[in-house]
Amino acid sequence: MSLNPKWVPMRWPCGPIEAARIAKSPHPDSGIAQPADPWANPAALQLLKGTPINCLVVDWAAGTTDDQAQQRALAPLIAAGRELGLSFVGKLRSGEGLAANVAAAATAGLEAVMLDAPASPNGSATGSASATHSLALPVILGFPRDTIDWARTTQIFSTTANVWPGVVLPTMTGDTGIGGPTGDPWVDSNGWFVLLARRMAPHRSLWLEIDLPPSSAPLTAQSYCRAIADSRAYGAHWVLALDDATRAGILRAHPQALATWQSIAQTLAFFGDHPEWPAFEPMGVLAVVSDFSGKNLFLSGEALNLLSRRHVQFEILNRRQAFAAPVTGLKAILWADDDQPGSVQLNHLLAFIQAGGLLIAPAYWGPAAIEPRQESWLPGYSIYNLGKGRIAVASGGFSDPYQLARDTHLLVGRQNDLARLFNPGTTGCFTGIGPGRRKQIVHVVNYAERASRFLAVWVNGNPHQASLWSPASQVPRPLDHHPESSGTSFELPEFSVNCVLEIERIA
């Protein structure tokens, strides 16, 4: 038995463990807690009929006196679900009785278990996949996002401490304004982290566990669909979870709750109908280089986050593996770590700079004879000219990721964009290139509740043709385009949550 990368996961809370959670909830009158748990009833699985959801994540053992009762309550649900072709993954805590709980899960028909990776004494998340080989089922290890150990990720792994995608207004607390680096809406997205995981844990699948926003009111359909699009556009799965009010509304056949569920299913199906999209590689002429671990994870990770908010396209390179061969396909490199490159890496970096490339670094590693100069528009940096290129060195190294993202954006310049949004408002985008480099996609996600209007997408070069895909349509819509600067511009129709521009490139 092995983990299935084609699983589309959903949290399915029910049983005594869920009842105990609801009893402690600030909104215990949500209508979920009932004498007969409807979500443990096999009839509830009919909700999944016709949807892409094929894997349910259930609570199996929480290390409490409710564990045995929980497992008995789940038995009929699991048996019925297996008959319907569903897979089940059980969440349980490591510790005493782990092997027995996993064995019981295997006997009951579960196909895998989710375990939190144990923490090391220094606080970083560790947990060897080999240490779980003796268990009766495959393991999905879960890590806190800010202490992830990339070397120990499993074939499918999960992360916690992810953000709820949407617009945050950091300049307001209630009716009180607070200071911030900009007055623009602050967009929260997990996209940059998904791209990081794709680079640091290649050929593995990431499941994002996201805490729902605290509220007694049901989340909107747009909120759910946005969380799905924010994960799927970049290549991960959100472990779908419904808020208590929406689950109660579904039980009561409330029209709004059922419409929300239909929208969720439609968005999941939209991405499921295009299994080729996750294979598209991120495009960018800027490479961000770090080991993205330990002391380096915060600054390098937050720099990726902030570059994404600026719609800067980038590739991600693992510092420990990068530049073993000459640099190709890049125009700029951000070396985010204080650790210096090895001798082979340095030789290739210097050759890249001499040929016209830009290196942004926290220290100078070039030839000693070159005198630096300063630019009035870029305070705090020394510029070293080397051949046809430049090395921009930050005085005192890198310390503020916001400043680092801003300076990188200025140094690389908009002239090197591969895709650009006009009138972006609260939208974000990811652009990828397919095998053979003949097809390009631009995922556009709207992070606000209101529809996105008057948005245009610009891409470099002269595409052959372009089509627009949206969850509301089964067929693509042809898009008119016109030349603009050194590229091509496409005007998008109004859309609610997300759409995908699919472009046929001229060879």
Looking up residue 143, the CATH number of its domain turns out to be 3.20.20.70
> Does residue 93 sit within a domain?
yes
For residue 88, what are the β-bridge partners?
56
Q: What is the pLDDT of residue 174?
A: 44
Which of 224, 243, 273 is the C-terminal boundary of a domain?
Answer: 273
Whether residues 319 and 384 share a domain: the answer is yes
Q: Kindly state the helix (H) or strand (E) to which residue 469 belongs, with its residue range.
A: strand 465-469
Whether residues 194 and 63 share a domain: the answer is yes
> Does residue 185 sit within a domain?
yes
Which of 251, 273, 295 is the C-terminal boundary of a domain?
Answer: 273
Q: What is the pLDDT along the chain (507 residues), one digit of tens a residue?
A: 789 999 999 999 999 999 888 888 766 555 555 555 899 999 999 999 999 999 999 999 998 889 999 999 999 999 999 999 999 999 998 887 899 999 999 999 999 999 998 755 444 444 444 456 689 999 999 999 999 999 999 999 999 999 999 998 655 444 443 444 555 678 999 999 999 999 999 999 999 999 999 887 899 999 999 999 999 999 999 999 999 999 999 989 999 999 999 999 999 999 999 999 999 999 999 999 999 999 999 999 999 999 999 999 999 999 999 999 999 999 999 999 999 999 999 999 999 999 999 999 999 999 998 999 999 999 999 999 999 999 999 999 999 999 999 999 999 998 889 999 999 989 999 999 998 888 999 999 999 999 999 999 999 988 878 999 999 988 999 888 888 888 999 999 999 999 999 999 865
- Give the separation between CA 42 and CA 54, rounded to whole angstroms: 15
> Does residue 122 sit within a domain?
yes
Looking up residue 354, the CATH number of its domain turns out to be 3.40.50.880
Whether residues 190 and 232 share a domain: the answer is yes
List, in sequence order, the alpha helices (H) in 365-461: 401-412
Whether residues 221 and 309 share a domain: the answer is no
Whether residues 155 and 221 share a domain: the answer is yes
Whether residues 70 and 179 share a domain: the answer is yes
Structure tokens of 30? 């949500």
Whether residues 265 and 367 share a domain: the answer is no
Contacts of 339 (CB under 8 A, 6+ apart): 291, 296, 319
Whether residues 377 and 433 share a domain: the answer is no
> Does residue 17 sit within a domain?
yes
Q: Which of 111, 206, 189, 106 lies closest to 150 in space, CA to CA?
A: 206
Report the predicted TM-score, pTM, of the whole model to 2 decimal places.
0.93
> Does residue 130 sit within a domain?
yes
Q: Which of 312, 295, 314 lies closest to 398 in space, CA to CA?
A: 295
Q: What is the pLDDT of residue 481?
A: 84
Per the CB < 8 A criterion, the answer to whether 84 and 43 are in contact is no
Whether residues 75 and 125 share a domain: the answer is yes
Q: What is the pLDDT of residue 179?
A: 42
> Does residue 2 sit within a domain?
no
Which residues constitute the domain of residue 307?
284-416
Whether residues 265 and 310 share a domain: the answer is no
> Does residue 345 sit within a domain?
yes
Looking up residue 485, the CATH number of its domain turns out to be 2.60.40.1180
How many structural domains are present in the chain? 3
> Does residue 279 sit within a domain?
no
* Full strand arrangement of the beta sheet holding 205-208: 9-11, 55-61, 87-92, 112-116, 139-144, 156-160, 205-208, 237-238
Radius of gyration of the chain (CA): 24
Whether residues 296 and 248 share a domain: the answer is no
Whether residues 208 and 350 share a domain: the answer is no
Per the CB < 8 A criterion, the answer to whether 142 and 117 are in contact is yes
Cα-Cα-Cα-Cα torsion 119, 120, 126, 130, nearest 10 degrees, comes to: -110
Which of 386, 416, 446 is the C-terminal boundary of a domain?
Answer: 416
